[in-house]
Chain A
Amino acid sequence: GESVGLHLPTLSVQEGDNSIINCAYSNSASDYFIWYKQESGKGPQFIIDIRSNMDKRQGQRVTVLLNKTVKHLSLQIAATQPGDSAVYFCAENWANAGNMLTFGGGTRLMVKP
């Protein structure tokens, strides 16, 4: 999801359900992607990354999927917990940009108990 001004896209899920947060990136030359989680009043925290030579990578309760054909990235959170409530940002990078990450607008995840 991309930001639309002051109103972040919001995903509301029930505790225990799986969550899927989507991101469309802009540059077909991007070769590195990161998901960050930002809780209220805190800086973004690294969750998981993936390089363009992969289409899936798994972490603890999280999976990132990369579809280069349609320039789409998704973050899947298994068994969503109240502590997962936060704003999630995707970021992309490409080799010629050094380590200059370009961030998406963010999606707010709300977990209902």
Chain B
Amino acid sequence: GAGVSQSPSNKVTEKGKDVELRCDPISGHTALYWYRQSLGQGLEFLIYFQGNSAPDKSGLPSDRFSAERTGGSVSTLTIQRTQQEDSAVYLCASSFDRSTNEKLFFGSGTQLSVL
């Protein structure tokens, strides 16, 4: 696609339920990132993938959070047993190459609301 695509755009769930958020990066981009943005806050790094290398999970806030990237393209961020503090906008970004200074292209995000 022309840009980074995320789905769903909005997700409302009940506390304790699991959710899956999807990201389609720009075709040809080898690096993919997940960020979280709480209301009125900056961007909090969660995880990134580069090609077939092991992902950098250093930003994941707890073991309830996980992500995978299949075939080096689409990525899914999974949050298990959601809590109210997980409510935020989850942003996905991709770039052509992680090894150099490259600007990230962001999707529009998934607004997650945990009731």
Contact = CB atoms under 8 A, between A and B. Distances in A.
B70 interface: no
Interface residues of B, number: 28
A31 interface: yes
A95 B64 CA distance: 31
The prevalent SS among residues of B at the interface is loop
Given A41-B108, A101-B104, A7 B95 contact: no
B108 A42 contact: yes
A23 to B, nearest CB: 11
Interface stretch (B11-19, B39-47, B72-80): B39-47
Contact of A3 (B42, B93, B101, B103): B42
Interface of B: 4, 31, 35, 39-43, 45, 48, 50, 56, 91, 93, 95, 97-109
Interface of A: 3, 5-8, 31-32, 34, 36, 41-46, 49, 51, 89, 93, 95, 98-106
